[in-house]
Amino acid sequence: MSHTAPPAATPPGDSKITHRPPLLDRERAILDFNRRVLAQAERADVPLLERLRYVTIVSSNLDEFFEIRMPDRLEAALRRPEGPGAAAFEAVSAAAHRIIAQQYAVFNDHVMPALERQRIVVRNHEDRNAAQRRWVAGFFNEQVRPLLVPVSLDPSHPFPQVANKSLNFIARLGGKDAFGRANDVAIVKVPRVLPRVIKLPAAISGGKQVFVLLTSVIRAHLATLFAGRQVQSFSQFRVTRDADFDLDSDEAGNLRKALRSHLTRRPFGRAIRLEVVSSCPEDLYRFLLQQFELPLSALYRVDGPVNLVRLNQLIDGADADELRFPLFEPAWPRTLTAGPSMFEQIRRKDVLLHHPFESFEPVLRFLREAVNDPSVLAIKQTIYRTGAESVIMELLIDAARRGKEVLAVVELQARFDEEANINWAERLEAVGAQVVYGIVGLKTHAKLLLVTRREGAALRRYLHLSTGNYNPRTARLYTDIGQLTADPMLTDDAEAVFQQLANQVRLHRPKALLPAPFILHRRMLQHLRQVGMAAQAGLPARVVVKINALTDPALIQGLIDASEAGASIDLIVRGACLLPPGLPGVTDNIRVRSVVGRFLEHTRIMYFCWGAAPDDEVLYLSSADWMSRNMFGRIEIAWPVKDAVLRQRVIDEGLVPYLYDSRDAWLLQPDGSYVRTGLDGVSAQGALVARYSHGRIGQT
């Protein structure tokens, strides 16, 4: 690979000094990733509705940031208001305030005016004409008002339970109630079943596509909910709560039951963030802060709707295909034909699948053929994120009904997919499938599908491995690489992994797979040391790693040591990277870039070269990022791509284009900031879309 990659920044050296520079801040790294996503919403070359979609993606990402990353920081700040934890919370909060302010500025000053120029408008009450106001009033009275139950607060009507990320209104009322009391604060909880964006009929839209937000509809008619009272002030509000939880060993006796119990409590976890509109009066937001026991720094006064995520309904409802990305239909792999069975083709030759540029359908066809083939005796699969509706899960259920041995390793603790996975587990068990939940304390994140087939007097196994989830929908949105193989070394190792997940036996030394938490971390460090020693000896020494996050201290130090030895290192890290590149004499041989484009970069690829001989290089694909949780807190796998043609294809499609991307790439600086490489150059994703659209598919 070295002939296609940038040269080393400095010649190999022989220094044995090991530096341990301070790592970059993780929360800042996560927020900076969202700034890169938000920058997509400012690009004139991105279709307009897709620009709005990037705004909503940032909102969704920030919701999860507050739900998962901020609870511990807030708890530390409240426990010791004068301690370092409080200062850290305030610093992260200040950074979060800045990006949210930037997000609303992009939304109000760039995206919405541009949409209006395309005759797609969101009308507030003040801007609606008489016909539109009449229609909205009718919609409110018929569809909204019957579902609203305002609660005026008094000793017998305490502040209601407000669910995580739900839409609510608070109002200050004048006058007295029907019983002569001056209870002056009321809460209106808005049911989730109501649409947040409503499209007005064309007949009253004046040749435009006119949308109204539910918040605007309720705001315009809020006074009608309080007959005989005066609404003196009001605001919409939304609270974000702690949504993370870990089950301890005492709860693991019945994991599914324990999880269901936790899921019922998740919507009412500890409050972390309060959002109100910028016009919210101080007395109302201070009242809310007191109710939710939050400091002032946890208040976010936003210049627009408090939940921009719901504007996805506008994106989906607008009739304007020209304002979306051009339709891209993934290609069918050239080496797979419609005629022979999948088993025959895989037995003949390994198949590499590069999603979303290539279709996910071959994976479905592989499983579907296994379900229908009488010679297939057993199907074993790991399940992490499949979604509430899943063709794959329906196929596994069908296989069990047909009498095949089905083992499903269902990860019940896949964050925010727990309920869907519990439901699938119950349906699988109901038809006789064997369902296990992996290992207590270790999430099963590996992506494996193993089929055992009788062929003559022997049994043969066929295997699909992947860097991404078994989810056909996200396979059109995320970049991932999968491999279909009948290689006995890989299939034997996969069988051993399933045996361990089912009965927790000790693994024999794998022949090819690198499972975590047993081998993967150690092998990555070993390869980094090999590269470093090669650099010191004046041999070719190269590392290229493409992952979603780099936060594990030991792996970071291994990269730093290899860099100091003179190895040339390129890291393509989509999200959080805590390694500061470009520090003179320490990490000046390391370059870090992040690519943010049309598709979510999700592929994990690790390439190491420690000499000039053919056996002095190795390339792995993996389900694991370089994070401590992946290396020690999850069941993960990495596997070597041994076929020279397939290995070169991974390099040519999964690494080289990203190293030279000058359109969607950002370069990490030593201080943790990012600089865009440009906007007018070559896009790695764009080049791959063009390649597959024109039928130039890599396998021959």
* Torsion sign over Cα 409, 412, 417, 419: positive
- Helix ranges (DSSP H) in 224-360: 255-265, 282-292, 312-317, 342-348
Question: What is the Rg, in whole angstroms, of the alpha carbon atoms belonging to the chain?
Answer: 28
Q: What's the CA gap between 113 and 123, in Å, rounded?
A: 12
Which residues does 198 contact at the CB level (< 8 Å), separation at least 6?
Answer: 139, 211, 212, 213, 214, 217
The yes-or-no answer on residue 445 being catalytic is yes
Residue 198 and residue 135 in contact, taking contact as beta carbons nearer than 8 Å: no
- One of 445, 464, 521, 527 is an active-site residue; which one? 445
- Helix ranges (DSSP H) in 466-545: 488-503, 520-536
Please report, as a single letter, which amino acid is at residue 595.
V
Residue 27 and residue 92 in contact, taking contact as beta carbons nearer than 8 Å: yes
75 alpha-carbon distance from chain centroid: 25
Nearest to 455 by CA among 344, 539, 615, 540: 344
Q: What's the CA gap between 49 and 43, in Å, rounded?
A: 12
Distance (Å) of CA 413 to CA 50, 361, 604: 31, 27, 22
Q: What's the CA gap between 411 and 1, in Å, rounded?
A: 37
* Partners of 101 in beta bridges: none
Please report, as a single letter, which amino acid is at residue 551.
T
One DSSP character per residue, 653-681 reads IIIHHHHT--SSEEEE-TTS-EEE--SSS
Q: What's the CA gap between 700 and 686, in Å, rounded?
A: 22
One DSSP character per residue, 388-443 reads SS-HHHHHHHHHHHTT-EEEEEE-TTSTT-HHHHHHHHHHHHHTT-EEE--BTTBE
Q: Residue 641 is encoded by which pair of tokens?
A: 């791509």
Q: What's the CA gap between 589 and 592, in Å, rounded?
A: 10
Q: What's the CA gap between 494 and 479, in Å, rounded?
A: 23
Active site residues: 445
